[in-house]
């Protein structure tokens, strides 16, 4: 959230706003919403230790954009809080992966790859949530 969302106002009822944001996020299909502050110094240290050990595999963007992941106020000036959203993409009625893998005539495709690109789906829904939050 940016400062332009009027969240610096001392009269702002953050509890009410958070309840509204949680409701909006559920309407958009998110299962969970977390809220964190922007002081991520300890997390930044752990991230860079993880990166130094090479545990990010082939995800080179993690190395390239590491600091932006731990300094949200550098991504968007005036950021006061970080919202983390979770959306399940595993279909409830999906066949168990191991039962497919054990059948040589079948191919297993990662569940997230079966539907629309989940990055685009998430980006679109997050943008919709941001538009709902912005006037507040």
Query: How many of the other CB atoms lie within 10 Å of CB of 19?
Result: 11
Domain of 9? 3-133
Tell me the C-alpha distance between 107 and 87, whole Å.
25
Per-residue pLDDT tens over the stretch 50-87: 999 999 999 998 988 888 889 999 988 999 899 999 99
Q: Which of 17, 15, 36, 48 minimizes the C-alpha distance to 129?
A: 17
Tell me the C-alpha distance between 32 and 26, whole Å.
8
Is residue 23 predicted with pLDDT exceeding 80? yes
Which pLDDT score is estimated for 83?
95
54: alpha, beta or left? (left if phi > 0; alpha if psi -120 to 50): left
Tell me the C-alpha distance between 17 and 56, whole Å.
36
Is residue 110 predicted with pLDDT exceeding 90? no
Tell me the C-alpha distance between 24 and 78, whole Å.
23
Name the domain count of the chain. 1
Which pLDDT score is estimated for 120?
87
Structural contact between residues 73 and 79, judged by C-beta atoms closer than 8 angstroms? yes
For 120, the enclosing helix (H) or strand (E) is helix 118-133
Which pLDDT score is estimated for 112?
67
């Amino acid at each position: 959230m940016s400062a332009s969302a009027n969240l610096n106002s001392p009269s702002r009822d953050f509890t009410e706003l958070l309840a509204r944001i949680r409701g909006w996020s559920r309407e958009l299909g998110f299962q969970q919403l977390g809220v964190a502050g922007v002081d991520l110094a300890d997390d930044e240290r752990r991230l860079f230790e993880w990166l130094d050990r090479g545990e990010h595999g082939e995800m080179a963007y993690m190395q390239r954009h590491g600091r932006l992941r731990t300094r949200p106020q550098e991504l968007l000036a005036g950021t006061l809080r970080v919202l983390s959203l979770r959306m399940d993409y595993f279909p409830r009625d999906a066949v168990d992966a191991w039962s497919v893998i054990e059948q040589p005539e079948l191919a297993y495709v990662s569940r997230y790859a079966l539907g629309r690109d989940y990055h685009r789906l998430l980006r679109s829904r997050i943008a919709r949530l941001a538009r709902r939050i912005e006037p507040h």
